[in-house]
Copies of this chain bind each other. A is one copy, B any other.
């Protein structure tokens, strides 16, 4: 079996679990809205990282399914609220929650998943309460950082220039902390010692940064029909991605940047400009470097098939097409 097959097995366990956990509750329309993003697809990379990290330290995968589901719910909650804030109409090729249920419906759907995530983490029955308490603290601190990162991301849109360090600090909060939490929680619930948990956390953090940087590369290089959303939308929104901060450092002026609207030709031209100045390659290399450093953190683990999958998962972050 290759990585994607292995991921699918774990992903299916999580999806089935969440589906049962959130189904047939009242008011049913609220729960339909809350499950909407989950059913719109998604690769469940974060919950897979929870499960694989647990396995890699000798834990049983089935015991951490509720924790893995909790991480996926946190992820889904942030997507729903981010889509409201960014006024995005499409997510994974489907209408966003606020497009279908209005802002109020989407705020509540997100808030419900948020609470369900914390409820779920207390339902990891085999773990001692002290481990649960640790996991609750990690998820709570992670959610705080995600909010801080999202706030900065929005704030950056109004600024003329953002430095590479500022961008990396923002991405570190907005995206990579949830990967860090995933690996860390998998390790804790798998019974690993502090040193191993810390190494897993660092693996998750670095791989998570690589993931986000590469996400911005994909946004420009992947065809729309594969992407499930408009290509180059971040350029129009004025998002200060690493690709843009690098182009700015190189003195490039991207005409349509932050201009909200542009023709397909203008977008293609802007992307060519970013390719020609080398800033997309630059970002790709940065993503690769973060992932490579992250993989080294796993040297602390014994060689097992689960460790191998964690290494492959890291590589997948920077080779995927969408």
Contacts and interface: CB of A to CB of B under 8 A. Distances in A.
A143 to B, nearest CB: 4
B147 A111 contact: yes
B104 A103 contact: no
Interface in A158-176: none
A249 interface: no
Interface stretch (A114-122, A182-190, A195-203): A114-122
B140 A129 contact: no
Contact of A143 (B111, B132, B148): B111
Contacts of A27: 148, 151-152, 155
Contacts of A128: 129
Contacts of A122: 133, 136-137, 140
Q: Size band of the A side of the interface? A: 35 or more
B140 A119 contact: yes
A112 interface: yes
A271 interface: no
State the oligomeric state as a number of copies.
Answer: 2
A84 B107 contact: yes
A147 B115 contact: yes
Interface in A99-115: 103-105, 107-108, 111-112, 114-115
A111 B114 contact: yes
A150 interface: yes
A139 to B, nearest CB: 7
A117 B152 CA distance: 22
A30 interface: yes
B85 A104 contact: yes
A119 B141 contact: yes
Contacts of A148: 26-27, 30, 112
A118 B147 contact: no
A301 interface: no
Contact of A30 (B115, B129, B147): B147
